[in-house]
Amino acid sequence: MWVIITLHEYSTAVGIVQTAIDVAKKNNATSIKKIELSVGEFTMLNSDQLTFAFEIAAEGTMAEKAELQIETQKGKIKCEECGFKGPIHQSTEGLDHFLVNLQNIFECPKCHSNRTKIVGGRDVFVKNIEVEIETEQENAPEATSP
């Protein structure tokens, strides 16, 4: 099976790995077990491609064996016509990376105007990082009996 990753997914994955490593080191962790992400619908990141890119970016790091959990956050729009603010009721399937930067591509579910703008769903953030920390008992030399 071939998986194609784009620079968009790979550069995001590198940032995720670096963020997780920075947090893990600040907490004296020995490894990263799990990373939980929130990915906005309008980031146009493909979850399968992002997971594959993450595996590549994490190779040889303390995040190498980490599980990546991705939660998708629905996009939100604001209607300039009626003031509606909330989720879209259209499919975003097939939208390319640049289309969502344009205005007026989503219809307001309340008044059906196309005078809308995107107000949510463009973010990617790390929600939680689960790490393993070596305890002092694990570092202590074993006691020997006389």
Which candidate, 54, 22, 53, 56, places its Cα nearest to that of 131?
22
Q: Which residues pair with 31 in a beta bridge?
A: 132
CA 107 – CA 110 distance, rounded (Å): 9
Query: What's the sign of the alpha-carbon dihedral 78, 7, 66, 134?
Result: negative
Residue range 1-15: mean pLDDT, rounded = 78
Judged by average pLDDT, the poorest of 21-30, 38-47, 87-96 is 87-96
On average, the pLDDT of the chain sits at 85
Is the whole-model pTM more than 0.85? no
Count of residues making up the chain: 146
Q: Name the band, by pLDDT with cuts 50, 70 and 90, for residue 143.
A: very low
Asked whether residue 81 carries a pLDDT value surpassing 60, the answer given is yes
**pLDDT band for position 30 (cuts 50, 70, 90):** very high
Q: What is the pLDDT of residues 31-66, one digit of tens each?
A: 999 999 999 988 888 899 999 999 999 999 999 999
| C-alpha 19, offset from chain centre | 11
The CA distance from 66 to 58, in Å, is 8
Q: Which CATH architecture group holds 7-132?
A: 2-Layer Sandwich (3.30)
Q: Is the pLDDT of residue 1 over 70?
A: no
**pLDDT tens sequence across 98-128:** 555 555 678 899 999 989 998 999 899 999 9
Give me the DSSP letters along 6-26: -HHHHHHHHHHHHHHHHHHHH
Residue 145: the pLDDT is 45
